[in-house]
Chains A and B, each alone.
Chain A
Amino acid sequence: MLLRHTSDTIIEREALTVNPAKTCQPIGAMYAALGIHGCLPHSHGSQGCCSYHRSALTRHYKEPVMAATSSFTEGSSVFGGQANLLQAVETIFTVYNPDVIAVHTTCLSETIGDDVNQILQKARDENYVPAGKYVIHCNTPSYVGSHVTGYANMVTSMVKYFSAKSATKKDQVNLICGWVEPSDMREIKRIAATMGAKIVLFPDTSDVLDTPMTGKHEFYPKGGVTIPELISTGDSKYTIGLGSFCSEEAATLLENKCKVKFSIQDLPIGLKATDRFLVALSRAAGVKVPDSITEERGRLIDMIADMHKYLYGKRVALWGDPDTLVPLTEFLLTMDMKPVYIVSGTPGKKFEESMKSLLTEKVPEAKYKNGERADMFLLHQWIKQEPVDLLIGNTYGKYIARDENIPFIRMGFPILDRVGHSYFPAVGYTGAMRLLTSILNAILDKEDRECREEKVELTM
């Protein structure tokens, strides 16, 4: 057994996390910053942070992930990281020439109390920042929240640094995108284009972390939201935030700063969340949902209806990020599946409220937990107590899947051992069809492999 020390006896823990369902803030800030065109993320801390984040993102995307570090030593930890950051800004602009450097902090620079705002002001005052170039920053102490919090903080900082209100409103809607794959961002843009809705999607990692092989390494790939686009978000007529954990703070700031009204929607994962997103976008942009999209919806419903018998009542365990887990849980319920165990290491009351309203009536036996010690060890112990039919979550689930012989769908971050997530979306109706296909394949493959010979079915 891979996880041979996991038993069904749950001993209450107050301090120990085992097999976490989260990681730390800075990687989220790095990922979000890659969604700005021409941006080099910069980690203000020890080298290891930057190295670990780049490695994790690279393993997930199988793509170059460029970022720099302040390379703290013991000396900088004692005397402060100002000299390191100034040197970094100079080196980066001279050697790598980005349009913008997006600095995030680490537990190290936060603990010693580096004032990054002041250091960057000094960098600007002392001409370390060439004309027309930008350095932005956000604080991402690793001991607060999770990778999701870091993503949200960098997105908020995009609004803080760039969004500006001019004299003329623009006929466009801001879509603040929660943490999803480049494929999902590409799909959201396709849906908006199909509807004829003018949008600014940010951040946008499509064409950054899913780039074609050309024989040349584009240090700054063609994708990413541009600075002029970010500036123009202050003139947009409305903002839709997709996923409250990742987008609500930024949307709120944008309203306060530039008087752009907003609503927060779930990430469009599954039928109902996609319905709500389309209604919201349709209203905000003043466009109709075209027949072609209604037909996509119809195909999804058709598929669920056709395959319902393989889905009904199936018990599912999931782990990941709240913004994904909430609409995913709703989607499973739509198909009459039973999401019974759900954990997320990301803290926040909204998770519990959402799960409560989704599950109390339909799956009263469901167990869910988020925040500290809501980890995959606990999830596995629940499974040991009463098994499930399906696992949905990041790659670390494969150890549970193998030990317990449970079909397993990879979704979330990180996915280290399969490809496809960055190319094929999980959002929208077509994304939902892809999810449904994966679920069915996993369940039916097990059935085909393990049922008695006389029970093998040709047609399913």
Chain B
Amino acid sequence: MAHIEMDPQRWKQEVLKKYPKKVAKKREKSIVVHDGAEVLQKIQANVRTIPGIITQRGCTYAGCKGVVLGPTRDIVNLVHGPIGCSFYAWLTRRNQTLPPTPESENFMNYCFSTDMQDSNIVFGGEIKLKQAVREVFEIFKPKSIGIFSTCPVGLIGDDVHAVAREMKEELGINIFGFSCEGYKGVSQSAGHHIANNALMKHVIGLRDEAPKGKYKVNMLGEYNIGGDAFELERIFEKCGLTLISSFSGNSTIEQFERAHMADLNVVMCHRSINYVAEMMEKKFGIPWFKVNFIGAEATAKSLRKIAEYFGDQELIDRVEEVIAEEMVIVKKELEVIYPHTQGKLAMMFVGGSRAHHYQELFTELGMSTIAAGYEFGHRDDYEGRRVIPTIQIDADSRNIEELTIEADETRFNPRITEERKAELESKGCGFNDYEGMMVDMAKGALVIDDLSHYEMEKLIEAYHPDVFCAGIKEKYCVQKMGIPLKQLHSYDYGGPYAGFGGAVNFYKDIDMIVNTSIWKMIKAPWEAEPVIEAEFAV
């Protein structure tokens, strides 16, 4: 198929023409053609999706239960609601977990629900919820139970928090509730915030035991999809870093409880977990900065940043050794694959960080990202945290609780001095900062928030990328158009893609994708040209 380069501004105008006037006016602000200027353009994000537009987005419950709390193996996640919400979140996100012994608790393969019936909707569901909590305790004996609210729960006035308190008292284990009804906020993002709040209120800081080991770090916003956390654990261990807790890939509630014993929080997925990072700094004095372990170069850079923070020559040297050792393998693989992928085009519309992080991997493959956007990002994920003070708080954001956090009376302990912080910052260790996606994108690239199905088809028609990255709902639409789609939520059931080993896996998978033979065979021989020779014709 001929590659027809269309001016992105013209593309934008043509796409908007299709929409009803009001809709076009709204979408206009969410589609930005990157002008390459230093001062980044404003993009509209984290606003309501237009009904009927066919969005990639999901709901608050998905962000809370599915994303943030889903990967912890020893909390029973009890969903209070009709059966569907729990059913659809049952093992579908591919968070892997590795219980240390055959006896260790692991509830992740189970699906728990109160299966609300119409009588519960009419007369209230609290009694059933309490009974379900008791039954979970009696049958499974967990250390902890999380209760997740679905749409009808808030509407009928069931108080999951009161039930959690009462049951905690009665059963003597940690039980906490989440008001993560699907209609709150405008996307999964509100659910991340709600999950962060509850972890801060009910879990983080409960265990003051200081774990052994040097260079204590929490990994925030890493969900062990396809085993990403396993690869990062391997690298951390090799470098001599001590991972205190992971939010929340391959995690346990005990790890969360002692997360405040760490000396640094590193943030992977800014969107889903920045609230915990901010709150832990205020309460316990643990600084945080952004890292990215997607891409070999990015992994190396992030490791160096961590070593620099601790400032210990032994660690700095060890990290360099590890990077040198790992990069040998990475470069060897890349050398073979690069010629196959170089110059190809990618587009990615996924998540609240992934559409940024994965650009690193494509850059390493010599591919350019000509269009990207988030499904549930905020303006700061595009333009950087500096815009946060200028973001208007609308009705949908206002109804998500903002916790007021104060320094812990006994346990607040600033891990580094202001002077040291300033020194590190001058070396590029940007604390409390995330620069966002757009700064890394090229002039002329299209940045689109909350991409609609229609816009997706038009992008493909106009630019024929070599690979389109999105999720399961988009996968087969794009592939029917003859363009391979790489799922960046589920990794197409592959991975890990994080760290050095993950980068190699990704190179290989993209190599495989752009070298798939079957795409060239879509047309039957008789469609390509007439096969009936004149002599056989009647």
Q: Does A15 contact B (CB under 8 A)?
A: yes
A96 to B90, CA, bound (A): 32
Q: Are B112 and A17 in contact (CB under 8 A)?
A: yes
Q: Are A48 and B58 in contact (CB under 8 A)?
A: yes
Say which residue of B55, B102, B112, B131 sits within 8 Å of A69 (CB atoms).
B55
Q: Are B84 and A49 in contact (CB under 8 A)?
A: yes
Q: Are B107 and A72 in contact (CB under 8 A)?
A: no
Contact residue range for chain A?
35 or more
State how many angstroms separate the Cβ of A106 from the closest Cβ of chain B.
7
A95 to B59, CA, bound (A): 23
Q: Are B183 and A46 in contact (CB under 8 A)?
A: yes
Residue of A nearest to B20 (CB): A94
Q: A17-B113, A51-B473 are in contact. Are A95 and B131 (CB under 8 A)?
A: no
A212 to B105, CA, bound (A): 45
State how many angstroms separate the Cβ of A73 from the closest Cβ of chain B.
6
A63 to B53, CA, bound (A): 20
Residues in A with CB closer than 8 Å to B396 are 73-75
Q: A49-B182, A84-B51, A107-B151 are in contact. Are A144 and B135 (CB under 8 A)?
A: no
Q: Are B52 and A88 in contact (CB under 8 A)?
A: yes
Residues in A with CB closer than 8 Å to B62 are 48, 51-52
Q: Does A70 contact B (CB under 8 A)?
A: yes
Residues in B with CB closer than 8 Å to A5 are 105-107, 110, 139-140
Q: Are B52 and A213 in contact (CB under 8 A)?
A: no
Q: Are A215 and B481 in contact (CB under 8 A)?
A: yes
Mask of A329-348 contacts with B, CB within 8 angstroms, 1/0: 00000000000000001000
Q: Are A23 and B88 in contact (CB under 8 A)?
A: yes
State how many angstroms separate the Cβ of B144 from the closest Cβ of chain A.
14
Residues in B with CB closer than 8 Å to A65 are 473
Residue of B nearest to A75 (CB): B395
Q: Are A345 and B83 in contact (CB under 8 A)?
A: yes
A207 to B315, CA, bound (A): 61
Q: Are B110 and A51 in contact (CB under 8 A)?
A: no
A266 to B90, CA, bound (A): 31
Segment with Cβ contacts to B, from A54-62, A193-201, A246-254, A447-455: A54-62
Mask of B139-182 contacts with A, CB within 8 angstroms, 1/0: 11000000000111011100000000000000000000000001
Q: Does A108 contact B (CB under 8 A)?
A: yes
Mask of A176-220 contacts with B, CB within 8 angstroms, 1/0: 000000000000000000000000000000000001011111100
A19 to B51, CA, bound (A): 33
Q: Are A1 and B473 in contact (CB under 8 A)?
A: no
Q: A2-B109, A47-B187, A51-B62 are in contact. Are A20 and B55 (CB under 8 A)?
A: no
State how many angstroms separate the Cβ of B323 from the closest Cβ of chain A.
37
Q: Are B454 and A96 in contact (CB under 8 A)?
A: yes
A69 to B479, CA, bound (A): 23
Count residues of B near A (Cβ-Cβ below 8 Å). Answer: 90
Q: A65-B473, A107-B81 are in contact. Are A18 and B110 (CB under 8 A)?
A: yes
A47 to B118, CA, bound (A): 22
Residue of B nearest to A61 (CB): B476
Residue of B nearest to A91 (CB): B52
Q: Does B19 contact A (CB under 8 A)?
A: yes
Q: A54-B473, A143-B117 are in contact. Are A69 and B480 (CB under 8 A)?
A: no
Best-surrounded residue of B109, B184, B185 (most CB of chain A within 10 A): B109
Residue of B nearest to A147 (CB): B84
Q: Are B120 and A143 in contact (CB under 8 A)?
A: yes
Q: Are A87 and B50 in contact (CB under 8 A)?
A: yes
Residues in B with CB closer than 8 Å to A67 are 54
Q: Does B46 contact A (CB under 8 A)?
A: no
Q: Does A100 contact B (CB under 8 A)?
A: no
Q: Does A64 contact B (CB under 8 A)?
A: yes
Residues in A with CB closer than 8 Å to B480 are 64, 211, 213-218
Q: A11-B138, A373-B115 are in contact. Are A143 and B82 (CB under 8 A)?
A: yes
Q: Are A14 and B55 in contact (CB under 8 A)?
A: no
Q: A15-B135, A73-B186, A143-B120 are in contact. Are A217 and B477 (CB under 8 A)?
A: yes
State how many angstroms separate the Cβ of B101 from the closest Cβ of chain A.
10
Q: Are A16 and B107 in contact (CB under 8 A)?
A: no
A45 to B150, CA, bound (A): 12
Q: Does A120 contact B (CB under 8 A)?
A: no
Q: Are A91 and B23 in contact (CB under 8 A)?
A: yes
Residues in B with CB closer than 8 Å to A90 are 20, 52
Q: Does A142 contact B (CB under 8 A)?
A: yes
State how many angstroms separate the Cβ of A319 from the closest Cβ of chain B.
13
Residue of A nearest to B154 (CB): A77
Q: Are B111 and A19 in contact (CB under 8 A)?
A: yes
Q: Are A68 and B54 in contact (CB under 8 A)?
A: yes
A217 to B84, CA, bound (A): 29
A218 to B184, CA, bound (A): 34
A88 to B471, CA, bound (A): 23
Q: A26-B84, A69-B51, A71-B48 are in contact. Are A49 and B59 (CB under 8 A)?
A: yes
Residue of B nearest to A373 (CB): B115
Mask of B291-323 contacts with A, CB within 8 angstroms, 1/0: 000000000000000000000000000000000
Q: Are A96 and B54 in contact (CB under 8 A)?
A: yes
Q: Are A396 and B84 in contact (CB under 8 A)?
A: no
Q: Does B522 contact A (CB under 8 A)?
A: yes
A135 to B272, CA, bound (A): 38
Residues in B with CB closer than 8 Å to A20 are 83, 86-87, 111, 113, 115
Q: Are A215 and B155 in contact (CB under 8 A)?
A: no
Q: Does A282 contact B (CB under 8 A)?
A: no
Q: A46-B183, A95-B454, A107-B82 are in contact. Are A17 and B151 (CB under 8 A)?
A: no
Q: Are B82 and A18 in contact (CB under 8 A)?
A: no
Q: Are B106 and A143 in contact (CB under 8 A)?
A: no
Residue of A nearest to B396 (CB): A73
Q: Does B198 contact A (CB under 8 A)?
A: no
State how many angstroms separate the Cβ of A344 from the closest Cβ of chain B.
13
Residues in B with CB closer than 8 Å to A68 are 51-54
Q: Does B92 contact A (CB under 8 A)?
A: yes
State how many angstroms separate the Cβ of B58 from the closest Cβ of chain A.
4
Q: Are B83 and A62 in contact (CB under 8 A)?
A: no
A69 to B50, CA, bound (A): 9
Q: Does B340 contact A (CB under 8 A)?
A: no
State how many angstroms separate the Cβ of B511 from the closest Cβ of chain A.
22
Say which residue of B19, B89, B156, B522 sits within 8 Å of A94 (CB atoms).
B19
Residues in B with CB closer than 8 Å to A214 are 480, 522
Q: Does A76 contact B (CB under 8 A)?
A: yes
Best-surrounded residue of B51, B136, B183, B186 (most CB of chain A within 10 A): B51
A243 to B472, CA, bound (A): 31
Say which residue of A3, A22, A70, A91 sits within 8 Å of B110 (CB atoms).
A3
Q: Are A87 and B52 in contact (CB under 8 A)?
A: yes
Q: Are B117 and A372 in contact (CB under 8 A)?
A: yes
Q: Does B505 contact A (CB under 8 A)?
A: no
Q: Does A146 contact B (CB under 8 A)?
A: yes
Q: Are B115 and A17 in contact (CB under 8 A)?
A: yes
Say which residue of B18, B49, B82, B103 sits within 8 Å of A95 (CB atoms).
B18
Q: Are B61 and A48 in contact (CB under 8 A)?
A: yes
A5 to B73, CA, bound (A): 12
Q: Are A142 and B84 in contact (CB under 8 A)?
A: yes
A332 to B427, CA, bound (A): 72
Mask of A275-312 contacts with B, CB within 8 angstroms, 1/0: 00000000000000000000000000000000000000
Residues in B with CB closer than 8 Å to A211 are 480
A68 to B51, CA, bound (A): 8
A160 to B396, CA, bound (A): 38
A-B contacts besides A3-B109, A18-B112, A215-B481, 11 pairs, CB < 8 Å: A4-B102, A5-B140, A14-B135, A20-B87, A47-B187, A48-B182, A49-B59, A51-B55, A51-B58, A85-B51, A141-B82
A-B pairs with lowest CB-CB distance, top 7: A48-B59, A24-B84, A88-B52, A91-B52, A46-B182, A142-B82, A15-B131
A-B contacts, 7 listed (Cβ < 8 Å): A16-B135, A17-B83, A18-B139, A23-B83, A51-B55, A51-B59, A108-B182
Which B residues lie at the A interface, using CB under 8 A? 18-20, 23, 48-62, 78, 81-90, 92, 102-103, 105-107, 109-118, 120-121, 128-132, 135-136, 138-140, 150-152, 154-156, 182-187, 395-396, 399, 452-454, 457, 471-473, 475-482, 522-523
